[in-house]
């Protein structure tokens, strides 16, 4: 969340463009695209692309609900998308302008229809799971060679956490991700909206709270890669990016990602066009550009997230399409669950509990 | 007429930059949150004419303020903010006074340079300066490397993400606001008064407490308010340098606004914060006025 304060503004300027050039403003997650694609879009369409980034759904949602964000394309996750559609924040896509729509993967569209019926408002950009990233060496040093690195017990069992505290544990600062995981750990329905069921999470998290160094939603990529921390609950692709950064740095850090055996949250980041987008036509062009098989493959090859584009799959590199941490096999997919947004009253209880867990008040 | 214009300008300023935003926030604080754009109800429908306006006012209520009294989180956060602001003000005074004193005592031709040195950090963005502190205070940061390098400590100190880091950040950031008013008070100090005190048998120490401090009182008060008031609502420093245990009202506001999407409750928190701030602001104004009268 802290990063939101200095939301890095990457403006890709194109010298050749006329001063009154057409513009399209895209607001996407940080570390979430191959930046070469931004230049390619400008070259192909002659539209100036202004690309800003955020690292929390809450920040995006506040901008959407305030209205007049000035963005043409934004990328909320499924549950947030659903709520924002209800609030009237998005416009229906004009399928006639999206010639690449046929590239999309029906298996994913069937799942995203839960948030966006008929996929009328959004296209899938990337999807992934929320799971456990570990520094294999350090965790085995702390817990022995048979450390449960694919189990939520690693972070929710105080006995394990006590030993891990010294090498550093980060959790996402996102109650909508951590609470379902804790519910899965105790065998409850991760998508429960029942306040009494959700309340069962509090003692579990409070018990391990003293051993958690930080709740943060983007710092763990670098922290894992540098060896500053040894365990993070985070998003699959982010942890895989950490794995690759560590491998490139040859610093002896080996990072592994696993979707927890108790079940892992499957999430979808969807591209949508705000109802008051200044340039919806250019926004459609951007969406169509992203749905191009080669472009989508380039993006996935770069960020290590699976995408919802079936046509891009033959173009994916083997370490992406062949990695079950990115494209889960049929076995793992059975173990994945999805969640739906909390109603306002439950949301308040959840936030309050989250504050209490984090601050002790 | 000229007199009228002179008064009108500052009042217009207040009206546009303070009163209007405040009324908007107050209005939202009396509304109910809703899943819509904007995310609260009711919104004023001027097209419906008078009935639209009465309809609008009939829907406003103080429910959100009642809510704030029902959960101990809010008053704990207000109290914790007050405590952090008070401690920071005292610390800043303790660091700032000797600096201001040294500057005022320095030879005349040095003072301009020293003054420039105090102001110089403002040329760098506040955010970047706070970020630099993260690099200094972190576990693998410069401070720990230095202390371990000279063998003073064996284990790195955990400073970042604690209240200590928040105090360091606040004292560093607001120090010039403390130094400048004290310096300007001390600079005007008539040195013959100190000589007189010493002639009359005062030790240097007691002359300091009996003459210098009382005569710089206005500067101390002004500096303290300039530090205390913004620190109370501080958000950036605690969220960058503090840990999740640092409870401040600025963070609660953020959570109400972003995590709960509850603009009305967030606005109610802001209105209360403002009411708490009104007291020190009035005291500050009084102090300024007294000073002006004394000089006038």
**A237-244: which pairs have CB atoms within 8 A and are 24 or more residues apart?**
A237/A126, A237/A128, A237/A303, A237/A304, A237/A305, A237/A326, A238/A31, A238/A133, A239/A131, A239/A133, A240/A304, A240/A323, A240/A325, A240/A326, A241/A31, A241/A303, A241/A304, A242/A133, A243/A133, A244/A304
| Whole-number percent of chain B with pLDDT over 70 | 99
Task: Look up the ipTM and state it.
Answer: 0.75
Kind and range of the H or E element at A23?
A: strand A23-29
Flag whether residue A13 sits within 8 Å of chain B, measured between CB atoms: no
Interval B270-291: pLDDT, tens: 999 988 888 888 888 888 888 7
Domain(s) labelled CATH 3.40.190.10 in chain A stretch across 2-128+267-329, 129-265+338-359
**pLDDT value, residue B127:** 92
Interval A180-206: pLDDT, tens: 999 999 999 999 999 999 999 999 999
Q: Is residue B69 predicted with pLDDT exceeding 80?
A: yes
B263-295 and B63-70 are packed helices; what angle lies between their axes, rounded to 10 degrees? 90
Q: Which residues, 6+ apart, have CB-to-CB distance to B225 below 8 Å?
A: B280, B281, B283, B284, B287
**pLDDT value, residue B53:** 78
Q: Taking a contact as any Cβ pair under 8 Å apart, which residues of chain A between 58 and 77 contact chain B?
A: 58-59, 61-62, 64-67
**pLDDT value, residue A195:** 94
User: Which of B83, B259, B260, B262 best tests the A interface by mutation, with the highest count of A CBs <10 A?
Assistant: B259
Chain B environment of A351 (Cβ under 8 Å):
255, 259-260
Interval B154-210: pLDDT, tens: 888 888 888 999 999 999 999 999 999 999 999 988 888 888 988 998 888 888 899
**pLDDT value, residue B178:** 96
State how far Cα A312 lies from the chain centre. 20
Number of H helices, E strands in chain A: 17, 12
Flag whether residue B234 sits within 8 Å of chain A, measured between CB atoms: no
Interval B11-67: pLDDT, tens: 888 888 888 999 999 999 998 888 888 888 887 766 777 777 777 777 788 888 988
How near does any CA of chain A get to the CA of B58, in Å? 23
Across the interface, of A83, A213, A355, the residue whose CB is closest to B255 is: A355
Low-confidence ranges of chain A (pLDDT < 70): 1-21, 361
Flag whether residue A113 sits within 8 Å of chain B, measured between CB atoms: no
**pLDDT value, residue B37:** 85
Flag whether residue B79 sits within 8 Å of chain A, measured between CB atoms: no
The answer to whether the beta carbons of residues A115 and A268 sit under 8 Å apart is yes
Chain B environment of A356 (Cβ under 8 Å):
73
Chain A environment of B135 (Cβ under 8 Å):
none
Q: What is the dihedral of CA A53, A57, A59, A60, to 10 degrees?
A: 70
Give the residue extent of every domain in chain B: 71-295
Q: Which fold has domain A2-128+267-329?
A: D-Maltodextrin-Binding Protein; domain 2 (3.40.190)
Q: Is the peptide bond before A355 cis (omega within 30 degrees of 0)?
A: no
B239 and A5 in contact by Cβ < 8 A? Answer: yes
**pLDDT value, residue A361:** 67
The terminus-to-terminus CA distance of chain A in angstroms comes to 20
Q: Is the peptide bond before A209 cis (omega within 30 degrees of 0)?
A: no
Q: Taking a contact as any Cβ pair under 8 Å apart, which residues of chain A between 254 and 313 contact chain B?
A: 275
Three-class secondary structure of residue A228 per DSSP: coil
B245 and A6 in contact by Cβ < 8 A? Answer: no
**pLDDT value, residue A359:** 79
Specify burial of residue B228 (Cβ count, 10 A radius: 0-12, 13-18, 19+): buried
**pLDDT value, residue B1:** 65
CATH of the domain spanning B71-295: 1.10.3720.10
| CB atoms closer than 10 angstroms to residue B69 | 9
Flag whether residue A89 sits within 8 Å of chain B, measured between CB atoms: yes
How near does any CA of chain A get to the CA of B43, in Å? 13
Cβ contacts below 8 Å, chain A against chain B, sum to 79
The answer to whether the beta carbons of residues A24 and A286 sit under 8 Å apart is yes
Q: Is residue B130 predicted with pLDDT exceeding 80?
A: yes
User: Which of A82, A355, A357, A358 best tests the B interface by mutation, with the highest count of B CBs <10 A?
Assistant: A355
**pLDDT value, residue B34:** 83
What CATH architecture applies to the domain A129-265+338-359? 3-Layer(aba) Sandwich (3.40)
- Mean pLDDT for chain B overall: 88
């Amino acid at each position: 969340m802290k990063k939101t304060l200095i939301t890095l503004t990457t403006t890709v300027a194109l010298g050749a463009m006329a001063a009154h050039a057409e513009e399209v403003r895209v607001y996407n997650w940080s570390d979430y695209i191959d930046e070469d694609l931004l230049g390619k879009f400008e070259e192909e369409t002659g539209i100036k692309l202004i690309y800003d980034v955020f690292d929390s759904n809450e920040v995006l949602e506040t901008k959407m609900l305030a209205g007049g964000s000035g963005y043409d394309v934004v990328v909320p996750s499924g549950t947030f998308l659903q709520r924002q559609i209800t609030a009237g924040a998005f416009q229906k896509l004009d399928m006639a302008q999206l010639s690449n729509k046929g590239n999309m993967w029906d298996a994913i569209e069937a799942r995203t229809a839960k948030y966006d019926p008929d996929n009328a408002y959004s296209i899938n950009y990337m999807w992934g799971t929320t799971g456990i990233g570990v520094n294999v060496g350090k965790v085995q040093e702390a817990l022995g060679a048979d450390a449960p690195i694919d189990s939520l017990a690693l972070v929710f069992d105080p006995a394990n956490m006590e030993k891990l505290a010294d090498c550093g544990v980060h959790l996402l600062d996102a109650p909508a991700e951590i609470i379902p995981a804790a519910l899965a750990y105790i065998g409850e329905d991760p998508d429960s909206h029942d306040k009494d069921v959700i309340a069962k999470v509090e003692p579990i998290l409070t018990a391990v709270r003293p051993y958690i160094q930080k709740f943060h939603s983007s710092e763990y990529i670098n922290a894992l890669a540098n060896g500053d921390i040894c365990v993070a609950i985070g998003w699959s692709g982010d942890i895989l990016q950490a794995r690759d950064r560590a491998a490139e740095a040859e610093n002896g850090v080996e990072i592994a990602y696993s979707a927890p055996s108790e079940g892992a949250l499957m999430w979808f980041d969807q591209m949508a066009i705000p109802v008051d987008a200044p340039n919806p036509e250019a926004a459609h062009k951007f969406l169509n550009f992203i749905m191009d098989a080669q472009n989508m493959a380039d993006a996935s090859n770069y960020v290590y997230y699976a995408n919802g584009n079936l046509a891009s799959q033959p173009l994916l590199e083997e370490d992406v399409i062949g990695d079950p941490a990115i494209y889960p096999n049929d076995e793992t997919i059975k173990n994945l669950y999805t969640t739906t947004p909390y109603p306002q009253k439950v949301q308040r209880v959840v936030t309050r509990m989250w504050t209490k867990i984090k601050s002790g008040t | 007429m000229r007199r009228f214009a002179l008064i009108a300008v500052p009042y217009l300023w207040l009206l546009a930059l303070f009163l209007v935003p405040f009324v908007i926030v107050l209005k939202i604080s009396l509304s109910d949150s809703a899943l819509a754009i904007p995310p609260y109800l009711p919104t004023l429908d001027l097209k419906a004419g008078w009935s639209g306006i009465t309809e609008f006012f009939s829907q406003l209520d103080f429910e959100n303020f009642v809510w704030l009294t029902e959960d101990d989180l809010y008053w704990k956060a207000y109290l914790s903010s007050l405590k952090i602001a008070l401690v920071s003000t005292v610390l800043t005074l303790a660091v700032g006074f000797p600096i201001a004193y040294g500057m005022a005592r320095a030879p005349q031709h040095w003072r301009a340079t020293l003054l420039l040195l105090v102001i110089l950090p403002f040329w760098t963005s506040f955010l970047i300066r706070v970020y630099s502190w993260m690099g200094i205070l972190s576990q693998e940061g410069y401070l720990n490397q230095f202390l371990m390098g000279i063998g003073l400590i064996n284990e790195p100190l955990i400073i970042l993400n604690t209240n200590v880091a928040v105090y360091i950040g606040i004292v560093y950031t607001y120090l010039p606001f403390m130094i400048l008013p004290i310096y300007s008070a001390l600079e005007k100090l008539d040195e013959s008064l100190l000589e007189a005190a010493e002639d009359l048998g005062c030790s240097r120490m007691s002359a300091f407490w009996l003459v210098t401090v009382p005569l710089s009182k206005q500067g101390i008060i002004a500096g303290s308010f300039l530090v205390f008031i913004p620190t109370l609502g501080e958000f950036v420093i605690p969220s960058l340098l503090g840990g999740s245990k640092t409870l401040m009202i600025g963070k609660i506001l953020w959570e109400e606004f972003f995590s709960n999407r509850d603009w009305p409750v967030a606005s109610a928190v802001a209105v209360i914060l403002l009411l708490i701030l009104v007291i020190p602001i009035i005291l500050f104004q009084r102090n300024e006025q007294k000073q002006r009268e004394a000089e006038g």
